[in-house]
Structure 1
């Protein structure tokens, strides 16, 4: 077994949340060692320059950007591993230009994220959080019966982004008797759901819009005034993708003025800041970007991260390669 200081280095710009939860021991390996930038007194650019020839891989979480400037300071970099599914914090064009392999958590968190998407939808339609608030404040006694909710079964659900997560959301909602259609970059030949190349047309033919795609230049503010207007006054939107896929200011306006029926939101445009107007609305369910926050996902993801890094340093195929769609 190699001595620790002889092992190849994996750069950590900041400890991932998984490491803070489980501790570094759960990420240890005899194939690599971690280089912890935050422990150095040097400014980051100087720290990177000092280790420029030795860093072959970076392990990064969603809250830390990996910019072209960072990548250019690391000529030996060949692999980038991110603990999340999204890639909007990584300069993918620079990675492609350099031939740097980018891997994410693959399908590890997909089941949990899909579960929360469905949970948010049920909560909004059946007013679970609103009725909980009603009971807790004694309003059932003083005001009588609660207001009517809306049935989940039979709803026309449009899914934006039919990847791992979107497909699992569709499968779950089919079991409720929902009618599924979707929008994606390309139509999927193996999928029988109706396909809409235009997200506005998808919204116009849906009662519910569920955002499952990644954030890119093309999807930024893709859900805009026209799309929300097409969804209409009886429409509900659920977002477990990224906040900036929706024009948040326009969404808030539509919700405040009753131009859409409700929303279930796990992600926001300027996290952790959430528009205060949403706090007063009982038809909106809010979640602090925690769709994949389960002990099972964190445990499985820790194993997956280590296995992927070990595969890289053993010159074996990566368990997954990320695609920025």
Structure 2
């Protein structure tokens, strides 16, 4: 029986590689010494792709290699690494890995918020440097009496909000539309919400539509006691405007898990003492990454078993019955 040809664009967990290798003829793009020659050779046979945000963008030029491509299974809840509209135009469906990472990302967001406000990494360095022997660590800001604005009240945004409820803080949100069943106040203007809150948490999807939506104007509205937490995409925040806002005291502090040009982080941010920086680890636990990888496998297996995709993205033609 002929096995279906699948392309993996970059390294994934060994469990994902093994599972796909058992069921399909798996081609590993990252092992090819000449990427273009490799894709020209195997492209006409490829019917499925396993990819992630860390392994390049699946745009129109990339999709040209694959005339028989049926499905792109992307690792991660965000899928701005795939031109989903172009894929839909070509009749290619796209899947992502939602829900299995909601709790992990929400937990990390709360941890990053507390670490940023209470200056936990700075306190750790203070002790390690022997400074506690000289004087107590300075008093930190607090989460008490703060108002939190969530930019993007999707699945993860709601999980973050539920955790914040336990801290007794007021929660509001901004998004493209008001959610009728949401128990939090809605702000149609991001600038207006920034003016009304002390903490801004970004958990909106990336892409052209949200690029630099948190800019100098929003940061100015957030104000000198304001804290920005970004667990969305680096592109959502104007990084240079953020650096200036932190440097000039326009806002108090920031906690960042994502950056515009990962893994390259501006030295200006690294040198600042009022920023907590993480290397894009919001979903980075063994448990959650395994679950995400398994969903990549399950989407491909389900599709090629004739059962349809498990988690198609909104742009995919499958939902409109075109496949």
TM range (shorter): over 0.9
Task: State how far apart, in whole Å, the 2-side matches of 1:97 and 1:74 are.
Answer: 14
Is there any run of 5+ residues in structure 2 with no aligned partner, and where?
A: 316-323
Q: CA separation of 1:213/1:323 partners in 2, compared to 1, >3 Å: closer, same or farther? A: farther
Match of 1:303 in 2: 294
Alignment length (residue pairs): 314
Task: State how far apart, in whole Å, the 1-side matches of 2:39 and 2:145 are.
Answer: 55
1:85-114 per-position Cα deviation (integer Å, ceiling 9, x unaligned)? 222211122112112111011111221111
Pick which of 231-240 and 283-292 moved more: 283-292
Task: State how far apart, in whole Å, the 2-side matches of 1:121 and 1:38 are.
Answer: 36
SS in 1 for 2:44: coil
Task: State how far apart, in whole Å, the 2-side matches of 1:58 and 1:244 are.
Answer: 25
Match of 2:195 in 1: 204
Q: Which runs of 4+ in 1 moved over 6 A?
A: none
2:101 counterpart of 1:109: yes
2:16 counterpart of 1:14: no
Given that residues 153 and 203 in structure 2 are in contact (C-alpha distance below 8 angstroms), is that contact kept between their aligned partners in structure 1? yes
With normalisation by structure 2, the TM-score equals 0.92
1:277 to 258, 264, 268: 268
Alignment of 1:221-240 (within 5 A): 221-240=212-231
Please provide the CA RMSD for this pair.
1.6
1:176 to 167, 170, 180: 167
Task: State how far apart, in whole Å, the 1-side matches of 2:152 and 2:216 are.
Answer: 19
With normalisation by structure 1, the TM-score equals 0.92
Alignment of 1:32-47 (within 5 A): 32-41=24-33, 43-47=34-38
Q: CA separation of 1:96/1:133 partners in 2, compared to 1, >3 Å: closer, same or farther? A: same
Is there any run of 5+ residues in structure 1 with no aligned partner, and where?
A: none
2:160 counterpart of 1:160: no
Task: State how far apart, in whole Å, the 1-side matches of 2:137 and 2:258 are.
Answer: 28
Given that residues 156 and 207 in structure 1 are in contact (C-alpha distance below 8 angstroms), is that contact kept between their aligned partners in structure 2? yes
